[in-house]
Amino acid sequence: GAVVSQHPSWVICKSGTSVKIECRSLDFQATTMFWYRQFPKQSLMLMATSNEGSKATYEQGVEKDKFLINHASLTLSTLTVTSAHPEDSSFYICSARGEINQPQHFGDGTRLSIL
């Protein structure tokens, strides 16, 4: 089945630092990738959608200058949380999709803790 790899799986860092999370589709070309955030005991919330080679589309309330998304190739998207603060601590999950009517496949998530 389709495999999406996300790295790192967890990260702890100090307030004010920037953190980059990578999302790779290992066995298919991902024309579209998605970034979600999940707080404890809540459901996944879509943050942004990115298509290869174009700017990401952010959901309402998500700061594009805070959460930088780059989707430079058909197999890699990155999310950079800039100047992270404790309230940015969350579980960040990416997903990727090939053809438009194919299902999205998810990575295993990155648990981000900002001290």
> DSSP of 78-104, one letter per residue?
EEEETT--GGG-EEEEEEEESSTTSPP
106 binds other proteins (CB under 8 A): yes
Dihedral sign, Cα of residue 63, residue 67, residue 71, residue 76:
negative
**Contact residue for other proteins among 11, 25, 30, 32 (CB under 8 A):** 32
Give the one residue of 56, 93, 112, 114 binding other proteins; rule: CB under 8 A: 93
Residue 35 touching other proteins (CB under 8 A): no
Stretch that binds other proteins, among 14-22, 42-50, 69-77, 82-90 (CB under 8 A): 42-50
* CA-based radius of gyration for the chain: 13
19 binds other proteins per the rule CB under 8 A:
no
Looking at the DSSP bridge assignments, the partners of residue 35 are 48, 94
Q: Are the C-beta atoms of residues 4 and 24 closer than 8 Å to each other?
A: yes
User: Binding residues for other proteins, per CB under 8 A?
Assistant: 1-2, 4, 6, 32, 34, 36, 43-46, 49, 91, 93-95, 100-101, 103-109, 111
